[in-house]
Each structure stands twice: as C-alpha cells, then as structure tokens.
Structure 1
Amino acid sequence: MEVRPWVGAHRTFEMDDSDQHIPVSIAFIGGGSLNWAAELMADLARDTRLRANVRLFDIDHAAARRNAEIGARFAGVSRGAPASYTASASLAEALDGADVVVISILPGSFDDMAQDIAIPAAFGIPQAVGDTVGPGGFVRALRAIPMLAEIARAIRDHAPRAHVCNLTNPMSVLTGTLHAVFPGIRAWGECHEVTKIRRQVAQIANDRAGEAHYGHRDVQVNVLGINHFTFVNRISLAGRDMMPAYLEFVRAHMQEGWVQTEPGKDEEHARYFGTKNLVAFDLFRRFGIPAAAGDRHLAEFLPVSDYLNAPERWGFALTPVAYRVRDREAKLQRAEALRTGERAPRASRSDEALVDQIVALMGGEAHVSNVNLPNIGQMPDLPEGSIVETNAVFTQGGVAPVCAGRLPAALGTLVRDHALRQAALLRAVLDADSAALFPLFRSDPLVAPMPEQAAREMFAQMLAATSHVLPDDLKGAA
C-alpha cells in the first residue's frame, strides 16, 4: 500500500517586508491546562519564526482567563514576535478560523483517576500509570471517547481544514476517535516518550566525547509500535550508526539498570517518575529490539507477573494519584505567581516538538517527529486503520507517515493484539455496543489471568465509580 500525506490547501500569507514571521492562529482546547499550555507559552516565547494568536478554551473559563494573563507575561519576554492570548467563551469561538487546534484535556477528574488505580489494585492488579491500557486505561477511554467525539464534530463544523494535535491519553484510542468521527480531519497524536531513549543515546555520545556536546534533538531514531509501547530499530547521531554503542550500553547495564529522570524535576517527581530502564532493557533481551518508551508505560502492556508485581525489582514506581494532586496544587501556585508577577516567565525551549511541527505545516522548514497516525501502510504488520506510532514528515503539504518496517514477529503479535483491542473499544463506544465492552476489558493482558467472575466484579465497580461522566448507553455495560 502506498503511504502518502494528507494534503491540505496551501496557505499564502501577505506579509510586510519588515515582518518575516509566519502568522498562525492556534485554538487550544483545554486552555486552562497547568502543564501543556505553559509549555507552549514558553516555547512560543523562545521561538523566532511564528507570530501566533492563541485562543484558549476550557470548560473552566476562569482557568482559561488565568492562562491568557500568563500568556501575556510570556509575550513580554519573547525573543521573536510576541504571541497574543485570549480566553474564548465557547468552543466554536476558539475554533473559528484556526490554523492549528491543540487538544489537551483531562477526561474526568483526579478522583476518577484514583478509582481507575485503586479498584484494580484491590483485585491484585497494580498499575504504574493507568491511562493507556489495562483496566485504568480502558475505563479512562470510556470517559474520554465521547468527549473527543464532541470535539471532532466541532472541528468539522468550525475548522475543517485545521491541523489538529491531540495531546490527551489514551493517545491511540482518542486520536482514533478524531479520525472516526470526522474522517477528513488532519489530526495526529503527539507524545514525548521516545525522548527517553534519545536522551540515553545523547548521553552515551557525550560520555564518549568527554563533554556535553549532544542533546536528544541530535539523535535520530526509526520508531515502530503503538503509543507507549514503542521500539526503535535504527539509531543515528551526526551521521554515525549508534545502534552498536546503544546495545553495548544495554548489555553493560542489564543487571543494575541506568537511572533516568526528567531534567529540572524535584526529588519527589524523580521518586515516582524516574526509572532504571530495567523493563526496557529486559524487553530488548526478550525481543531483540530497543524499547523506546518509559518503563512505567511499557510494563502495563504485559501481564502483571512480568513486571508490575515487583516494580521495586524493576526500578520503577507506581505513581499514586495523591502525588498528582499535590503536583497540581504546586503548579497552581506557580501559575498564580506567574499571573501576578511574583514569578518571572522564561522564554525556554521544552522537549516538545509542537512548535517545530507548526512551523513546518505553516510553510517553514520541514520537520520529522514520531507521531500517532492511522496506519495506511507505515506498519504493514499492524492492522490497517489502527493508530500506530512511527516517524512522520511535517511540511506545508501535510503530515506524511514514514514507512517504519516490521517488528520482530513475537513482539509484533503482542502489539497487534493491543492495536486490535483499541480499535474495537473505539468502535464499541461510538456504536453504543455496551455488550462488546466486557469481553474487550477481559482480554487485556493485565485482566486476562483473573477468574471471570472477579473480572466482572472489578469491571462493574469501575463503571459504577465513573458512571457520573459516562453516557447513559454505556452505564449498563457491566
């Protein structure tokens, strides 16, 4: 099958000779975000190519207004053309005329997430994250699919030619929702998990050079898989094949691991999000291909007995929702300090690729990123139409997935099973086929070993706990 881009209408801009910035109108859905919105503001302040008009929409309008005030402060420290920020009163208002739509919402609440974790734990299923697969990811998808379906219909009606970036998990199912509800949508799913292996490779090169010369953006990888269960079969840096060096690194750290934390994070964050990469290294031992995502996500795609029953042994933590609540409160305090001027904004570049992607789509330099797209042949061993994660080329013509190749056969079987389940879950929710849901829930590798009656009881409890945000036609699925 030919792999081709989704080609959109080319935009032409009338710019004054003195202003070479590329104009772009961005609708940010979930514009009260305390994480992704702030990342985008800092990135736009650091960027020198775009002139952005950002419209923030959130069901919590006060949060969107707060972020608009914070955005104005970031505009004041811009290195290029200052971005403008406004809080939109409605989704339609935010979308009208948008060139780019960014979706970053929380499907439900932290209380819902706490139940996604606590109920399975009571039945003997620990989850490190619980937002992608397993019982937590499944029930989160039940809450989120109708929300993304509503957003997709609004994009169809108000911004049908916009480029759409989904940042919300479960990434595969929700990016699939956008395409299923609005088949003409030009949407991709954006995730930074692959940054982890790129950082490792940059560190290997820096250790060999004896100086901190390289960063993760200097590392190129060929990505294969589905979101949070990704792998790479080629690695290069500065024209050099880095796969031999990486495999040597894995063998050297196979037993004790290699500690990896996110730069700039505090000790508590490192405790719950840092890993030793032992799961990734063990998957390399088992399947012969480097794993690219973080251990906390990778572990959830396999039976509990593989990794989740002994997270300390494998060097990662089960992140409690209570920590997320504390972290959110700290972010609220930082946001208020930014809004009032007690804290100074910084024009800094995050790990995210979104601004580079937008520049390319608006006619600037082409850009290559790993993203989530419908499978039109870029992964021939996975189901056609399912959402897969590979590299893609961003240009003014659209987003063109790169042919990634095939996974090792045994691993491909595992990935295909998850991809099929995700596609079937999406279809069942959109078709209001509640009878199909429990068999799909039951077939997940974390749930499958359970006695059927216990699995039914767990599913019933999880549905009851989240029923306040479920559509009526899904509430009786248990």
Structure 2
Amino acid sequence: MTTFFTGQSSTGAEARVDPKKYGLKQTIADTLGIGGIFRGLRTIPFMLELGRDMREMCPKAVLLNYTNPMSMLVWAFYESFPEIRAVGLCHSVPYTVREIASYVDIPHERITFECAGINHIAWMTRLEVDGEDIYPLLFEAMEDPEVCARDRVRFELMRHLGYFVTESSEHNAGYTPYFIKDDSLIEKLDIPIDEYIRRSEENLREYEETRKKLLAGESFELERSVEYGSLIIHSMTTSTPRLVYGNVRNDHLIDNLPAGCCVEVPVAVDGAGIHPCHTGPLPPQLAGMCLPHVSVQELTVRAALEGRRDHVYHAAMLDRHAPSVLSLDEIHNLVDDLIEAHRNALPEGVPEPTEHTSGDTRR
C-alpha cells in the first residue's frame, strides 16, 4: 500500500489584498468564506497535479488529505480522479469530543458519539455515556459563565439549533451571517478577528525554532496525536478494523445533502481499505446550515475545473458571511481585487474575463 499525504502549504501567491478595506472582517477563513474560496482556487491546481502523478505512478495508492479548504480540495480531486481512493482528514471531530468532555467534566473515553455534516460544520447528533444522553448536561454546562466563555459562538449556535457543531467558535463565527457583521456581538462573543494571521505568524516562528533545533542535532520527544492518518495506515496494513471520521463523496451517505458533494461521516477502515458509512438524514435545521456552504464549494470547484471566473463571483455571492456586510457590487469588486492579486496562482481561465463574467450566466 502506498499512501500520499498532503498538508498545509504555501501556494506562492505574493500579493496581498485585505478584504477589511471593504468592511469584511474574517477570523480564520481557510475553509469557507472569501478566504476559503481563494485558498481553494490557489490550491486545487496542486491537487490536480498530484492526482496526475498518482494516476501515472501509483494509481492504487490512497490519498490522505490534510490541507484546507478540505471539502473543496477533496471534491475537486475525486471529481477529477474517481479511480483513485481519497479521504480528507481533520482533527475537528476528536478535538470537539474532548472539548465537550471538558465542559461536562466526563473523561472523553467514556463518551459514545455520532457525527455527520460537512468539514468544520459537522454535528454531534449523538452524545451518550453508558447509553444515556448527555446533551442535557451540555446545555446545563452552557449556563455556567466560565464554561460558556470558552466557546461562546458554538454554544450560541447550540442554543438555537439544539446540537453542538465541530470546529471552534472562531471558525464558526465566520461561517454564518449572525456574528461578525456587528461590532457589539464581536465584543460580546469574544470573536478574534484576524486570528489566522496571528496563528500563521506563530507557526512561522515555531517552524524556524524547530528547524534550528533539527539542524543543531537536537532530539524531540514524540507522542501520538489525535490525527487519524497513522491509524488508517495501521488498519490497512494490519487488517485491524477501526472507525475514524473522514471527508468523502456523498454517495448515499447523508440523505438530505446533495449527491456528489463532500461530506464528513464515519469511515470504517480495515485491510480492504476505507468504507464510508451511511448516516441517514441530518435534522433538517442542521442540513440547512450545511447546504449554503455546499453550493459555495461546488461553485469554487467548478470555477477551478472549468476555468470559470463568473463562478468565483457566484461563490462569493452565496457565501453566508460576505453578503451580511457587503453589497453585490462590493463583492464583485472584492473578487476582482483578489483575482488580480492571486492571478499567477489561480487555475487556468479563472484570471481572464470571459463571456460569463457579466450578463447572461445561465450555463
């Protein structure tokens, strides 16, 4: 078995456009939103190049993708290379279980859970300990100001939707139209604007420090993380059955999300490979929270694979956060600025105006 990993990487785009000049604030924006759309457009060409190499050199290999925007990249890959096995991996599900465990003061190993949705917007549809539903404990914990302060946006979403979502409050603040549009809400819910910039700067510092230590011959203490990659490799090589969570094509897995979109579901792994599990329909309000993002992901993938600049505008128009603060003309102008800034890293056809940039776009 050959396994290919992809991970977070620079895409080579040097110019920088700050959407804040249009009034658009962001927190992380590496998965969804304007930031996620353009990160996807910059990174899909690499995924396609990797797929062509795999098709030629190791068509029976399994691609384990860790790069964001997860859903867009995995979708573009399996759309282009359906014969190659691929799964997108994210730590948001296991970390969310650990965070919930800390909120209700129960060891995470005791929690039985089920989760389904799309990457970073998957929902804990089942939370139990010894067969008993612990959602009442989580709702009770939410009323503790100290606990609530640790995850304000996700608790606010749970208060209104009834279920807890994966990925952090700073991520989810940017996935909805409810929070970042209002400075008073940003302050009340402690939403860290520009958090990704700070994290990136810290990552670069940590990289340089680690590089210096490696060059100096220093050793490191290694321990297993919650990441699924090594477990998948172990299961496939030893035939040890396991259940992980992965991002895969929606082939009759979540009934009320579109066929062919990229969903995050339980995945059984054994010596025969990876086997995504059918989870049935999501509660309708949860499917409704996922569906707008699925449309943005599809349009971004189509823009990249078909060289359609107009679909970049469409994706940005349908984003849940940008239209909460920007007009259609402002979104259009922001997209123009970003395309110009990143044109050397974008898929062929996207940087150039086409007959579909304005006017009749009914194709």
Q: Is TM-score (shorter-chain normalized) higher than 0.5?
A: yes
Q: 1:322 to 1:147 in 2, by over 3 A?
A: same
Instruction: Tell me by how many angstroms 1:315 deviates.
Output: 2.7
CA–CA distance in 1 between the matches of 2:39 and 2:280?
31
Q: 2:86 aligns with which of 187, 193, 208?
A: 187
Residues in 2 aligned to 1:431 and 1:196: alpha-carbon distance in whole angstroms: 36
Does residue 141 of structure 1 match 2:50?
no
Matched, 1:119 2:22: no
The structure whose RCO (Cα within 8 Å, separation 6+) is larger is 2
- The answer for the alignment partner of 1:99 in structure 2 is 2
- Once the two structures are overlaid, the 10-residue window that deviates more, 307-316 or 124-133, is 307-316
Residue number in structure 1 paired with 2:360: none
The answer as to whether partners of 1:201 and 1:219 remain within 8 angstroms in 2 is no
Q: Shift of residue 386 of structure 1?
A: 0.3
Identity, % of aligned pairs? 25
Structure 1 gaps, min length 5? 1-97, 209-213, 260-275
Counterpart of 2:152 in structure 1 is 278
Pairwise mapping of residues 231-310 of structure 1 onto structure 2 (< 5 A)? Answer: 231-237=123-129, 241-250=133-142, 252-253=143-144, 257-258=147-148, 276-303=150-177, 305=179, 309=183, 310=185
Q: Which amino acid in the other structure matches residue 350 of structure 1? A: S
Contact 1:201–1:242 (8 Å) recurs in 2: no
Alpha-carbon distance in 2 for matches of 1:179, 1:150: 13
Q: Deviation of residue 148 (structure 1)?
A: 0.7
SS at match of 1:476: coil
Residues 135-157 of structure 1, C-alpha deviations (whole Å, 9 max, x = no match): 11111111111111111111111
Cα deviation 1:263-320 (Å, max 9, x = unaligned):
xxxxxxxxxxxxx211111111111111122112212221164677443321331215
What's the CA shift string for 1:156-186, capped at 9, x where partnerless? 1111111110000000000111101111111
Equivalent residue letter for 2:56: D
Aligned-residue offset at 1:240? 5.1
2:216 counterpart of 1:364: no
CA RMSD, Structure 1 to Structure 2 (Å): 2.3
Q: 1:229·1:297 contact (CA, 8 Å) conserved in 2?
A: no
Letter in 2 for 1:170: P
Aligned residues: 351
Cα 1:241–1:409 shift into 2, 3 Å:
closer
Structure 1 residues 217 and 372: CA distance shift in structure 2, 3 A: farther
Q: 2:361: which partner in 1?
A: none
Please identify, of 195-204 and 352-361, the stretch whose mean Cα deviation from structure 2 is larger. Answer: 195-204
Equivalent AA in structure 2 for residue 293 of structure 1: E
Letter in 2 for 1:162: A
- Please tell me whether residue 397 in structure 1 is matched to residue 296 in structure 2: no
Letter in 2 for 1:315: D
Residue in 1 that maps onto 2:187: 312
TM-score by length of 1: 0.68
Contact 1:176 1:374 in 2 (8 A): yes
Structure-2 separation of matches of 1:471 and 1:417: 23
Provide TM-score, normalisation by structure 2. 0.88
Unaligned runs of 5+ in 2: 358-363
Deviation at 1:330, TM superposition (A): 2.5
Residues 300 and 308, structure 1, Cα contact 8 Å, conserved in 2: no
Q: Does 1:461 align with 2:337?
A: yes
- Name the SS for the 1:351 alignment partner: coil
Q: Distance in 2 between matches of 1:472 and 1:173?
A: 17
**Structure possessing the higher radius of gyration over alpha carbons:** 1
Map of 1:327 onto structure 2: 203
For residue 463 of structure 1, report the CA deviation from its aligned partner. 1.0
